[in-house]
Amino acid sequence: MIPVVGYKGHQIAVLGLGRSGLATARALREGGAIPICWDDNPAARAAAEDEGFAIKELAKQGAFEGITSLIVSPGIPHLYPTPNPVVKAALAAGVAVDNDIGLFFRSFATRDWDKFDTLPKVVAVTGSNGKSTTSALIHHVLEAANRPCQLAGNIGRGVLDIDPAIDGEVVVLELSSYQTDLARSLTPDIAVFTNLSPDHLDRHAGMGGYFAAKRRLFAEGGPDRAVIGIDEDEGLYLANQLSEGLADDRVIRMSVDQKLTGPGWQVFAKKGFLSEYRKGKQVGSIDLRSVKGLPGVHNHQNACAAYAVCRALGLAPRVIEQAFHSFAGLPHRSQIIAEAGGVTYVNDSKATNVDAAAKALGAFKKIRWICGGLQKDGGLEAVQAATGEVVKAYVIGREAATFAMQLGGVEAEVCTDMETAVAKAVAEAQEGETVLLAPAAASFDQYDSFEKRGDHFAELVKAQLS
């Protein structure tokens, strides 16, 4: 646990008592603060009461009297699409609003660090797609290189749940826009921007607000080094803002769309080959085509980001390459779950938006595509250009018929439920084909989470093949 500093003896309100909210309350109490907790869910309130935390309905008039700060769990919208009443009450009362990420960055460093030979570092990874795989891959490479490290944030443990740092340790954080847009302190040593595509637009009132939430990690944080994907206009703009010119190697530019050269520091992947250039000269390369845990261009982008971070941390290219080959990938992200009769079965349930689904479709050949669910804003136009390898689509979800109608030029069968889709795809798949779950939609019309959707797909595939 990371005890929260700076609030000893102060009453701190905690809104939302899920995994991160309870961890925040514990860390506040460990640091001497007095947590005052609230959640609309009675079961969550009961769990907090069982741990001895005070419960107070924060939306009531005068609830913020004597409160120093309000800590909001990342899943709770605070401003858009409509202001949260508790957050609005805190703002009106002049109470500082923060989240667990802000508390982490103000509390992580301690006086014990004065005894360390090598100061700990924090790597923070954000972006629309690939941040989980990138974060896990960085952590995997560091472990393989015998560097002390921890993985936390939107993946692994909550940020305040991790252990206090030891000499030379690296903490790798995956941070979503929900976590970056409210944190009052953001001070990573290395920050990564993978890419940007439409997502969570209601939460951020459009693409501008969404990008602004991501940008805060760099503009507010001032990292010593930034790894920026420049294949979208926003990344190109961000790299320009953070550097004094192409020769400024505090910014490592990365791409999977173009070869990058020039006087600065660049990492790019073309046709399955990762290349690192510094001062106009190639200084490292990796053949990614044989790295089984990183299939497709989207994973090659993740590899570029992880490689750049690990190089910035002082690891040699061959050490990184060796670790890449032992990376098994993450569940629900281009995860090969079975191979039978010459057919490969892939679970990419994490492809909850059209950009992620398009990248998954680009990673495989001869695809029987299981898709559909709770469609997000923006339609399916962005994914249609990536359907060239789709043999047939099997559409699930409550609005499967509407979803299927948008797949112009693709043979599509409305299946509605996962059981029907998997049974038909398995029965019709031919040798050399891939059955791919890449929904291009959220799961909440039928499942509690994308993980449960992916697990159900895997269970059904294995049952069909047994």
What residue numbers does the annotated binding site cover? Answer: 127-133
What is the Cα 160 distance to its own chain's centre? 18
Cα–Cα dist 226/124, whole Å: 10
Antiparallel, parallel or unpaired: β 225-229 and 190-193: parallel
Q: Which residue has the tokens 């007095």?
A: 34
Cα-Cα-Cα-Cα torsion 210, 213, 217, 221, nearest 10 degrees, comes to 150
Which residues fall within 8 angstroms of residue 3, CB to CB, at 6 or more apart? 27, 30, 31, 32, 107
Q: Judge contact between 448 and 455, C-beta under 8 A.
A: no
3-class secondary structure, 455: helix
3-class secondary structure, 31: coil
Query: Position 364: which residue type?
Result: F
Cα–Cα dist 261/276, whole Å: 9
Q: Judge contact between 228 and 253, C-beta under 8 A.
A: yes
Binding-site positions for ATP: 127-133
Q: Which residue has the tokens 């032992």?
A: 326
Tokens of 11: 């009453």
Count of CB atoms situated within 10 Å of the CB of 129:
26
User: Which residues on neighbouring strands pair with residue 124, listed in sequence order?
Assistant: 173, 191
Eight-class DSSP state of 255: E
Alpha-helical regions (H) of 205-275: 207-219, 233-242
From 64, 81, 50, 62, select the one nearest 14 (Cα to Cα).
Answer: 64
Q: Judge contact between 210 and 126, C-beta under 8 A.
A: no
Residue 361 backbone phi and psi in degrees, to 5: -65, -30
Cα–Cα dist 451/321, whole Å: 29
